[in-house]
Structure 1
Amino acid sequence: MPIQWVITGIRVRSFPFRVVNMKKINDPEALRSLMDQHRISGLFNMGTEAAMELYSFDKGENVCSVDDPIDHLFMLVKGKIKIYRVLPNGKSILIRFYNPLSTIGDLEMLNDLTARSTVESVNDTIFIGIHRQALEETAYQDPAFLRFVMKHLAYKLHTFSNASSLNLLYPVETRFASYLVSITMDDNDQAQIEEIKTGKLTEIAEMLGTSYRHLNRVISQFAEEGIVERTRGSLFVKDIQRLKQLANGNLYS
């Protein structure tokens, strides 16, 4: 049976500009396969599982933006997402990256808040989503589901301090190395060749809390050491192991 894609909504945001096409995937077999893959089949009660649906976002699309109302709790099951926050001065700062299996919207749902950060798809992503109404009617009465959410909230709290210290205490070399490692490792923690358009370096510098000039010096240093290669307006990761050494375990993930 072919996968059926249904566009369920389009949103436009002003900063950064994104057109969002959230697509619902009508494929029960794909849903079950992803649940099996991440070992959540049979974990929740039947009402909670019946409320689960598949959604996809394209690379570069926002899953949500700051102050968006949250109407789904999402579980990332394929791809990678980036979390960042826009500061009052208009600049943005990187919070972290998430790989599967990660939850989005749990804090907002439990506290009836709008989105506190912007969530962007680094590549094509797939989520299992549960609508707010279904959460209130079924999942919130499911002890296994509540334990699952609490576990992920505890992990976020535990790792958030690490991401915060990266932005405050570590030199740009460590932050940029950590950023490159975070975007280069795939879902299975395997290295993949990553290309970064140099036109995005101003945005990256801002997210890492530094200037374009300083980041450019770090890139030149990395290029001289053979860690990255700069060619034709693009930046390529060449030595992921050296980047891991420079990041020293301090990753945005």
Structure 2
Amino acid sequence: MRKINDPDALKRYMDAHRLSGLFDRKTERAMELFSFDRGEIICSSGDQLMHLFLLVEGRIKVYKVLPNGKSILIRFYNPLSTIGDLEMLSDIPARSTVESVNETCFIGISRQAMADTANEDPAFLRFIVKQLANKLDTFSNASSLNLLYPVETRFASYLVSITSDENGREQIEELKTSKLTEIAELLGTSYRHLNRVITQFARDGLVERKRGALFIKDLDRLRALSNGNLYS
């Protein structure tokens, strides 16, 4: 994690996400800018969070490590999303692990600033309540996806969730074949089963396996296969 001392950049992000003027001035003055590298862990389950983070650039992955050491994917987050809202308001440790998928940037508010300013700002609290409501809805959707749908649907949902609209036809770096064991674990299946699904997807023209990576070939059909259930 790196703190970015750049008021102009902070203002640009505030303006871009229509946050400027939304909150009390004391709350805005407490905001700082932070960045994380690709693959960097933002927080782990059990951590006591010292900042509330608002994702303003990049993408993050949220997953839970189970007692048996395996992981299960909860969802991906895009801007504008919050990390640490429940933990800050309830004073509990993090319940999940959050990882930066690519280079990410956050607006952060320290725990002390939350207590001194943001928690007294009605506009900010309304913003947080809206974020929590959205999380509850998407968490319910992700839980149903993990429990009730076959691996084919889960993997299609995973592919659609990590593929941006602009780059849907390009190589997905996260899907290098060396990562398939990790992805299988996140989706709650075995490497062999996932490999069979990928082989079938390739045979059906949905993906292409080449040079140690996967390419999306038919994003529309993957969306249809996901049945509208996404990890994002």
TM-score normalised by length of structure 2:
0.97
Determine if contact 1:103/1:152 at 8 Å carries over to the other structure. yes
Query: Displacement of 1:38 after TM fit?
Result: 0.5
Return the alpha-carbon distance in structure 1 between the equivalents of residues 160 and 38 of structure 2: 18
Distance of 1:58 and 1:180 partners within structure 2: 22
Deviations 1:38-89 (A, max 9, x none): 0110000000000001100011111101111100000000000000000000
Deviation at 1:191, TM superposition (A): 3.7
Does residue 114 in structure 1 map to residue 93 in structure 2? yes
Q: Secondary structure at the match of 2:76?
A: strand
Residue type of the alignment partner of 1:40? L
Other-structure match for 1:125 = 104
Is the partner of 1:56 in helix, strand or coil? strand
1:191–1:240 Cα contact (<8 Å) kept: no
Query: Quick check: 1:55–1:127 contact (8 Å CA) kept in 2?
Result: yes
Q: Deviations over 1:193-236 (max 9, x none)?
A: 21311111011001101111110010001111121111222112
3-state DSSP class of the match of 2:136? helix
Off by >2 Å, runs of 4+ in structure 1: 189-192
Q: What letter corresponds to residue 41 of structure 2 in structure 1?
A: N
CA distance in 2, matches of 1:215, 1:125: 29
Once the two structures are superposed, the pairs formed by residues 36-115 of structure 1 within 5 Å of their partners are: 36-115=15-94
Residue 237, structure 1, aligned to residue 213, structure 2: no
**Aligned amino acid, residue 150 of structure 2:** P
Q: How many percent identity over aligned positions?
A: 73
Matches within 5 A, 1:82-231: 82-185=61-164, 189-192=165-168, 193=170, 194-195=172-173, 196-231=175-210
1:237 CA drift (Å):
1.5
Q: Partner amino acid for 2:89?
A: L
C-alpha separation in 1, matches of 2:200 and 2:162: 20
- Greater relative contact order (CA < 8 Å, ≥ 6 in sequence): 2
CA apart distance, 1:190: 3.3
**Number of residue pairs matched by the alignment:** 229
Aligned-residue offset at 1:183: 0.8
Kindly provide the CA deviation profile for residues 132-160 of structure 1, in whole angstroms up to 9, marking residues without a partner as x. Answer: 00010000110000000011001111121
Computed over aligned residues only, the root mean square deviation of the Cα atoms, in angstroms, reads 0.9
Write the deviation string for residues 168-188 of structure 1: whole angstroms up to 9, x where unpaired: 000101100100111112xxx
Unaligned ranges ≥5, structure 1: 1-21
Cα deviation code 1:71-112 (max 9, x no counterpart): 000000000000000000000000001000000000000111
Letter paired with 2:67: P
